Structure 1
Amino acid sequence: MMKSVKVVGAIIENDRDEILCAKRSKTMTLPNLWEFPGGKIEEHETPEEALIREISEELDCTITVFDQVEDTTHTYDSIIVQLITFKARITNGTPVAREHAELRWVHHNKLTVLEWAAADIPAVEKLVQMS
């Protein structure tokens, strides 16, 4: 049976209608693909709690989590990923790429120029439609 994992992603916006995009490093699975920062939901956590913890660990920032944007399940070669994305804002700190190769602020209407991980694409498409 294929392993299944539940993860959360933060769609962090700034005041210029830009969204924080994170490029996966060479040592991660799906290297060099772009994603919304976030990570695995632990057993005792709500998706929102997991997102706040992951962003603190990955980006050294505090965020406020807002509305859910998308809930997507994608089957990769060796794992099934359920990705729940939420809109968020940074309330404290400046993002630092602790695990990712690169962080980049990208305007809503330019999101599709990046090469995204498959599970993130439905949220990207929704954001482009909303802008």
Structure 2
Amino acid sequence: MLEVAAAIIENEQGQLLIARRKKGKSQAGLWEFPGGKIEQGESVEACLQRELQEEMNISIEPYEPFGVNDHAYGTTQIRLFAHRARFVGGDISLVDHDEYRWASREELREYSFAPADIPFVVRLLQEL
């Protein structure tokens, strides 16, 4: 099973960072909470800090586990670990995505999310 981490990043206005996977990537065109594959011996928090620096050129501070979701994309099984995180700084520049948004919880309803992320969207909407 592939272990992957996703960051639920909130800014000072309470908006959440979401990003759309670019063409050529699996789940292209779908929105997700940014993150990436957890490397051998790496914590979820360390993975998220590394991935967000590499993929978006931003610094974050993971502070609380949010949930875990197991999902199968065809023959690929993933375990997605979501963590709440604070946006620390940096100017977003995209590598694996073609678009990003700072969205309120209510606005999350307007986006088509990758299936593994949907349980986290549902939970965030329940917090309204």
Is this a same-fold pair by TM over 0.5?
yes
In the TM superposition, what is the alpha-carbon distance from 1:121 to its structure 2 partner? 0.4
Corresponding position: 1:37 with 2:38: no
* Residues 15-67 of structure 1: CA deviation (Å, up to 9, x unaligned): 22211101000110011000110000000201111111000101101110011
What residue is the counterpart of 1:100 in the other structure? Answer: 97
What residue is the counterpart of 1:60 in the other structure? Answer: 57
What residue is the counterpart of 2:115 in the other structure? Answer: 118
What residue is the counterpart of 1:73 in the other structure? Answer: 70
Amino acid at match of 1:46: S
Residue 7 of structure 1 aligns to a residue whose secondary structure is strand
Q: Any gaps of 5 or more consecutive residues in structure 2? A: none
TM-score by length of structure 1 reads 0.93
CA distance in 2, matches of 1:25, 1:87: 24
* Residues 42-97 of structure 1: CA deviation (Å, up to 9, x unaligned): 00201111111000101101110011111000111131111011111121212221
What residue is the counterpart of 2:13 in the other structure? Answer: 16
Q: What is the root-mean-square deviation of aligned Cα atoms in Å?
A: 1.0
What residue is the counterpart of 2:25 in the other structure? Answer: 28
What residue is the counterpart of 2:106 in the other structure? Answer: 109
